Structure formats: structure tokens, C-alpha cells
Structure 1
């Protein structure tokens, strides 16, 4: 009796184990693909990598989770519950904004509390706050709820979105849109800084990103016990539990093609991995400029990649202390004396300045497991120009760290220097060499109007059939919700496994 065996399930290779690559692998497995995820580093996470040092645990990048339903959906695809493996807790207030004069603004999900905060600091802006919240919801309903997981590889999709963009004033900047509602400069800062969290300049990022106020209000701001790395590990476990393969210390050197379609990847070791589908979670500039450097490209040529505007860089100082700083909140913005001028120095003039604004993260405020008993773990982040500035970080890093220490001691952490027991630093150089980020940009291409939606590198590659992009550099953009939503797009643009099998028979 002859037994006719069915052809093997189609193979997908995912490049990069950041949130986008992990989410893509989960989705492809649920749709019947065999999945191999390859990662340059020794552990998954990408920008969400976890450092462990001297008993302290440091999340390298993302520290807050908004729109947790996007993550919960990944487990639901496999009939599981994220809550069984991830302890996600809402934080309120979301963060404390400390202005240069010492006054503080507490951002909350409670609209009445927020209105009271505005009334306390800027009573003339209460009506403006109400207008801003209403506008934020209107933008969210279109730009996030409707468009975040819609592919924009066809220009007709962009054309259909233009009337809403005009109606919602998406052509304006976030700062311009916020300034139309608020008179007080502190309020303008407090309600416009959010694009910095995804690599954008509030002075030039499309006003669509005003949606973040409603996103935070609707879904809250959450923290994962064990750190963001706990979510990363839970996703990696989900993938392997359902038959996927994760290969660490496996850098991709080339995406190979045959007759205009992807055929697989070549690793830096020389090993070839065949694939019917390749999904790149690498930055698009690296995907096209390096991994497809030998391929003739129609749109994302070296010249076009060179002309693109890339996000700012980040200086991140991780440190542990031998005592707890219980007066420091979980998330604190320590703002400097300038706002618009500092933004222009970072994004336009590409000038490393003496002053700065800081984001201080103290996860041990809610999760003491991330430090030895009686100790704290921190990171402090400062937006800086990307490597297009010519800054020599090998020379500047220590001096910059010392200025950040001085600022923290003068503001929220007196005596800090005497209590630091362990530390490490990341600069744009690390983003360039460790994460393959062009110009050391922390968030790939800057989310300007003409580098968003159709103008951004597409989820469906124009350069080879069956090549797809996820992550911060493609639609809808950076930030955990955007990156996870980019993998959600795959369900609409990647043919299912059965289609590939039929095509091969």
C-alpha cells in the first residue's frame, strides 16, 4: 500500500527577537507555519533586553505597557491566558513630571484627578484640558483603533485616510496641536512630550500622536512584575511550547532571494536557512542597506536610506544602590530649564548640550525582587542627538554620566553618588553596534508626517516577494503597542500556511 505523505508545512524565518519578532513568531505559528526565530544577541528582547548585574535586574528599554490587550491576544491565539504567566499591574499615577522649578504634575487615568492637577497648576487651562481629551479620543478612534493594524503598502489606503487626517489636523505637530488648547507652558510640555517615548520630536511629529493621552486613559499604564523582561521570556516560552525554534547568538548576514522572492537567510557563520517567508524585525535601514545590500532595490536604495531622518539617540545609565530611595516614584520625568530649544538642539542642530531632561525609572518602587534586599535598581534616560551629530561617545560618556548624577543629586536623589554600588551605560554607539541601529537611532526612522503610514517602510516589502517587516521602523511605528500591532498586520498580508502548501504541490 502506497502512503502519500503531505508536503512539510511552509517555513518562516523571523529575524530579531524584539517584541515585533516575538509577536510575529507567535502569530505565524498560530497560522500553521514552522517558525525559526534568529537573534544576534545571547537572549531575546532586542531593545527590551534584560541586564543582570551584581544582584540587580535592569530592563534595557521599554518599562511601561499600554494597550495590554495586544499582548493578551498573542496567548489567546494559542488558547492560553497571559495572566497565567505574566503578572501585569496597573500603575496610578502613571508618572510624575517634575518641572525645573520643582513643581510636580501627576499624570493619571482618572480624568477628574487630571483636571484637578491642571486646575492646581494652570487654572486658566481647565477648558483646554477638556478640549484636548476630546480631541485625543477622536484621533485615537481613527489613528489607532482603525489604522494601527491596517497595512499601508497600497497608496490607495493612504488616500482614503487623508480626509480624516485633515479633519483631525494630523498635518500639525503634536506641540502645535497641544498649544492650541493650552496657554500655560508647563501644560504644553506635560501634554506634548509623549512622542519622545517613541523617537519623535514633539515640534515636528504628526499630531496623530496626541492619541496617547486617550490610549493611557482607556487602557492604563502597566508594569510587569519581574520587569518587561518577564514578558519577553514568557513570549519566548510560548513560541517554543508551540513548536517554534529560537536560535540565539545567530546573526543574519544576508536575506537571500531567488527569482524576485525570498529564499531564506544566510547567517554570519555561513549557515543557510531556507524559508518560504522571511519576517524582519531588524531596523529597515539595516534590513535593506545591509541584509539586502547586494540586491537591486526599487524603493529603499542606499541613497533614499541616507536621506531619511532618523530618531534621536539615547543615553541610558543603569545603576544600583545600597539603600532605597523611597521618595522617588516608579516613573519620574525630571525636566530641565528648556523645552523647545533643547528639542531643536537634539533633533535639528544635533548638538550635545550641557542641559537635559531625564526619565528616571525605579522599578523597585513596586517590585523589590529586582534588587538585593534593602537596595534599589534604577535607570535614567536622556534623549541625545543620534550619531549624525559626530559626538564621540567613547570620550563623552563618563562626563555626561557625571552631569546626570549631579542633576539627580540636586533634584530628587540627594547623596546618590555615595550609594551607587553597580552601574553600566548605553550610548548611541551601543545602539549602533549592539542593535544594528543606523546612526545609533533608538527608534529607527523619526515619525514625521512624511515618514509615517504609506511613507514609512511597508510591512509588505517592495524589494522581494514574501519578505515582511515588523518593528519600530515600519507601520505603525515605535513603542510596545505599535511594534506588537505591526505583527498584527501580518495576519492580513501573509498568505496562510495552507496556501503555501497548495502552491508547492
Structure 2
């Protein structure tokens, strides 16, 4: 029997999760990554002795990660130490600080202290969203390749709870009267790169998930999760090849048969898994004219998320900010409108600061801090001249940060620094239009209307990552890998094609045995 070979393009979390699952089932897996490191937008940034997460800075729903590793015969806790944060984040509205927590009783106390009369709304929100997630959650675990996929009992059970015709902000207005409290439960739409005034009401589950399941920090950074998955692939005999860019997906008679690497070498594969950024993959990995659904014109017409301006700062003193701090613009709605509609830089912008050193001492030298600073900005559709603006934006952000008592005099304490603009996201990381959260999650780009896990343009080609169903964000990217690999293996089973027997050199650890550190 010929061993089934899976070639994975991109060592982001989706590609690594898919590679890990397939390798554990006996597939010969090779992951090709153009960068000299794994992770993509979930990689590590190293500046001298300071270490930063490149993109995502926390983990939600750790049980999904436990299930993923258990499916591959591993326990994630043998590779990664997860620490739950007691306070989810500090939200700064002008002079007011609001610090949400996971425990309902403490949360009600904090709400009533700052927003009297809204505690009951919080409890109602959590109760109703729990039922919503119970119904909607199964839709995130199944493919939507055909219209008939809607004609199932899970879909019918979820319809009344989808709230797809409402908006995230509209839904939260049913629970809270204070605009600041609404923003505390709607800003999570930014995880999808969208405005809460435009994002479908389905996605109120994002804030529910934070409050129901908590936020976790992996010691060493979120990038440790990607490194752990790469380790598992190698343990099962797979390969993760960094500094190995892919030039083309090879097609024969409408079927993916392998890859051509940038150096000209061609490799054969039974299956190709695409974890490259969706827009970039469609425009660069196929011969012109091969794709009919995703021509350059059709890609231009799609909706894309906002982008982010990043500052990674190595600071020569200990900073006492909480792990996560969000400083809201005075007129948050105008700020969001600038980012998503008028596509200009806001004079008064919202800024997010991650200060993981208060939880994790491994990221900076003793007595120093590795600060991660993010400002949501328009993607490259806005035509902003980033070569001209990047230093001006940097200086404006530093001035804003220095208004915080804990960050006074910050500019004189910076030892290491790196800037990433939307242009850098595009040029250095291959992110189409610099849209760091991938395709937008508008109604016309969800479920069946989102690129399918089984790639429609080529047989034996599969999509994983934020550009396919169920969407962007680490939990849904993990689900995309589980969906795509399940479809792949089911197809092989129907065809009577099987990989060699799964390797079994470790005990499979059920998720229920896992222990989380707190």
C-alpha cells in the first residue's frame, strides 16, 4: 500500500492542527512554511532578550485544545502550561476603569458599583447566551458545503437563536442601559475585524465565551501552542519545513496532486491542505485562469476585516498594568467608523496593551517588561501611506500610553522596539490587504457562503484557517482543521484508501483528565 501523503501549505495554527491530526492517523505529513519559524500570525517576535506574541495574546475555550491534542493521542498539558487570568481585562473609559471577572457574583457586584441597575441584565445575558451557544455551537463543528447542509436538525434548532439579522450592539442594548457597559460586551467584534454596529448579532457569543470559560495565558506566549503542535507532528514522523515557501499548487484534471516549491522542486501529494492566508493563496498559489470562483475581480469584491498597527516594546522597568488593558476612544463609534467605513486614521483611537509579564516572567529579563501594543486601523483598501504615517502613529500611541500613570515616562525606558503596519502584514506575512482578521464575517460570507473546507476549485485540496468555515479566531481555526481533516479521511475511507496504521507511541489522554493552572 502506498502511504497517503498530505502536504500542508503554511504552519499557522490551522495547518499545524490539521497536520497533527493526520500524522497521528498514519498520514505522511509535510508542512511547508515560508517563514523561518512556525505560527504565522500566531508566531513569536524576539527582540533581544524580549519575547512577544506576534498576534493573538490569549486563549479561550481551552477544552477545544485539550480535545484536539487528545484526538492526536497527546495531552496539551504535557507541552503547554495554561494559566487562567483572574481579571479578564481592564477597560478604561476616560477616567473610569472597569475590570470584568468570570465569577457571576463578583461580576454583578462590579457592574452594580459602576453601572447601577444593570446587574440583572448581565445575568439574563449569560443565561440566554448559554442557550444560544448550546444551539449555535454545533454549527461551528460541521461543514456547509451544500445548501442541503442547512436542512438538518442542528440548523433548525439554532435558527431562532442566530440573531443574524440583528447586530452585536443591537443585541447588547437589550440587556444594558449604559453605553460603556454595552461596549464592554461588544468590543469583541474587533476579534473578527468588524464593527459591533455591523457585525451580525450571532457573535454576541464571543463575549459570552470570555465570561463563561475565562481567558488563559500559555506560559511562553500563545505561540507555544503552535510550537507544541509542530513537536507532535515531528513525534509522529512528520516534517515541518520552515524557510520553505511554496510557489504553486499543482493541479491535474481539476485535482490537486502536489506542490512546486520556490526553488523549483516539485513534490507529489495525495492531499493538499491550504493554511495560507485565503486572499493571498487565491492570487499567488494557482496558475492564472485556473480558478473560476476566486478570480482577482471576485476577490476584490469580497469584504475583508480591518487591520492592526502593532508596537512591540522592550521596556527596562517593570510595568504594573494588568495583563490586558483596553483604552477606549472618547467617541468609540466614530473611531470604529473610521476603521471600517471611511478608512482613515482616527485622531482619537482606541489602543490595546498586553502586559504579560504580570503573569509570565519568562518573556522579559528580570525587572523589565515586554509590552505588546495594538491599534485597530483600516486595511490597505483605505490607501493610507504607511511609510509616511508609521512614525507619526507610533509617536501618537506613545503619547497616549504616557497618559497612563503606570506608563509615565515610557519613551525614555524603551530598549527594544518593532513596528508592524498593515503594509508589513501584507509584505512580510502574506496577509491579503493587510486584513489581519481575514475575510469579514458578514451575512454574505458565513457558513455556506464562506469558502468551503473542501476546496470547490480542486479535488483533494482542503482549506483550513480563518478564511474558511467557521471563521477567524483560534477556537474556530481549530474547528476548521477538525472539519477539513474529518472530511479528508472520510473521503479516503469511501475510496478504500487508508494510510498506514496510526502510530501509538503514547497513551491517549482524555480531555477530562486535564488540569489547568490558576
What is the SS of the residue equivalent to 1:255?
A: strand
From 473, 486, 496, the counterpart of 1:479: 473
Q: Secondary structure at the match of 2:365?
A: coil
Shift of 1:111: 1.2
Question: 1:320–1:423: 8 Å Cα contact kept in structure 2?
Answer: yes
Q: Name the structure 1 match of 2:105.
A: 112
Q: Hey, which bits of structure 1, 4+ residues long, moved more than 4 A?
A: 496-501
After TM superposition, list the pairs within 5 Å mapping 1:115-126 onto structure 2.
115-126=108-119
Displacement of 1:200 in angstroms is: 2.3
Aligned 1:377-416 pairs, distance under 5 A? 377-412=370-405, 413-416=407-410
Structure 1 stretch displaced more, 453-462 or 70-79: 70-79
Establish whether residue 346 from structure 1 lines up as the match of residue 346 from structure 2: no
**Conserved in 1, the CA contact under 8 Å of 2:176 and 2:182?**
yes
Residue 357, structure 1, aligned to residue 366, structure 2 = no
Name the structure 2 match of 1:331. Answer: 324
- Which position in structure 2 is the counterpart of 1:441? 435
The Cα of 1:500 is off from its aligned counterpart by 5.9
Identify which range, 109-118 or 382-391, moves more after superposition. 109-118
CA contact (8 A) 1:174 1:208 kept: yes
Q: Is the 8 A contact 1:109 1:217 kept in 2?
A: yes
1:501: how far off? 6.4
The structure 2 residue matched to 1:215, chosen from 179, 191, 209, is 209
Is 2:144–2:452's contact at 8 Å kept on the other side of the alignment? yes
2:27 corresponding residue in structure 1: 33
Structure 1 residues 502 and 58, CA gap change in structure 2 (3 angstroms) = closer
Report the Cα distance in structure 1 between the residues aligned to 2:176 and 2:299, rounded to whole angstroms: 37
- Aligned residues of 2:135 and 2:161 also touching (Cα < 8 A): no
Take 2:486 and 2:68, find their aligned partners in 1: how far apart are those partners?
A: 16
Correspondence for 2:139: 147
**Aligned-residue RMSD, C-alpha:** 1.7
1:201-242 C-alpha deviation (Å, 9 max, x unpaired): 211111111112332233221001111122221111111011
* Deviation digits for residues 335-376 of structure 1 (CA, Å, limit 9, x no counterpart): 111111111111011111211111100111111221111100
Judged with a 3 Å threshold, the aligned counterparts in structure 2 of structure 1 residues 184 and 293 are, in CA distance, closer, same or farther, namely: farther
Aligned to 2:463: 469
Residues in 2 aligned to 1:201 and 1:116: alpha-carbon distance in whole angstroms:
29
1:45-81 deviation digits (Å, cap 9, x = unpaired): 1001111112100110111011112222232123222
Deviation at 1:184, TM superposition (A): 0.6
Post-superposition shift, 1:126? 2.2
In 2, the alpha carbon distance for the partners of 1:503 and 1:77 equals 18
Most deviating of 208-217 and 24-33: 208-217
Return the match for 1:376 from 369, 374, 383: 369
The C-alpha deviation readout for 1:273-308, integer Å capped at 9, x for no partner, is 111111111122122222124243332222221101
1:50 maps to: 44
Q: Distance in 2 between matches of 1:195 and 1:143?
A: 17
1:149 Cα shift?
A: 1.5
Bigger drift between 494-503 and 331-340 goes to 494-503
SS of the residue aligned with 1:132?
A: helix
Please list, as runs of the form range in 1=range in 2, the aligned pairs for 1:264-303 lying within 5 A after superposition: 264-303=258-297
Note the residue ranges of structure 2 that are not aligned, 5 or more in a row.
Answer: 500-518
Query: How does the TM-score come out when normalised to structure 1?
Result: 0.94
Alpha carbons 2:32, 2:245 under 8 Å: kept: yes
Moved more, 212-221 or 410-419: 212-221
* Aligned partners of 2:4 and 2:498 also within 8 Å: no
CA distance in 1, matches of 2:329, 2:96: 12
Q: Per the alignment, in what secondary structure is the counterpart of residue 123 of structure 1?
A: coil
Residue 353 of structure 1 aligns to a residue whose secondary structure is: coil
2:149 is the counterpart of 1:157: yes
SS in 1 for 2:415: strand
SS at match of 1:42: coil
Whole-Å separation in 2 of the counterparts to 1:141 and 1:296 = 41
Number of residue pairs matched?
Answer: 495
Query: C-alpha separation between the residues in 2 aligned to 1:181 and 1:104?
Result: 20
Between 378-387 and 209-218, the greater mean CA deviation after superposition: 209-218
CA contact (8 A) 1:10 1:501 kept: no
Q: Structure 1's 253 and 197: CA in aligned 2 closer, same or farther, altered over 3 A?
A: same
5+ residue gaps, structure 1? 1-6
> What SS does the aligned partner of 2:118 have?
helix
8 Å CA contact retained: 2:339, 2:345? yes
Which SS does the other structure have where 2:31 is aligned?
strand
1:405, distance to aligned residue in structure 2 (A): 0.4
List aligned pairs for 1:70-89, cutoff 5 A: 70-89=64-83
Q: 1:15, CA displacement in angstroms?
A: 0.6
Structure 1: how far apart are the matches of 2:132 and 2:289?
39
Deviation at 1:461, TM superposition (A): 0.8
- Quick one: distance in 1 between partners of 2:364 and 2:118? 41
Asked if 2 retains the 8 angstrom alpha-carbon contact of 1:165 and 1:171, the reply is no
SS of 2:186's equivalent in the other structure is coil
TM-score, normalised relative to structure 2: 0.92
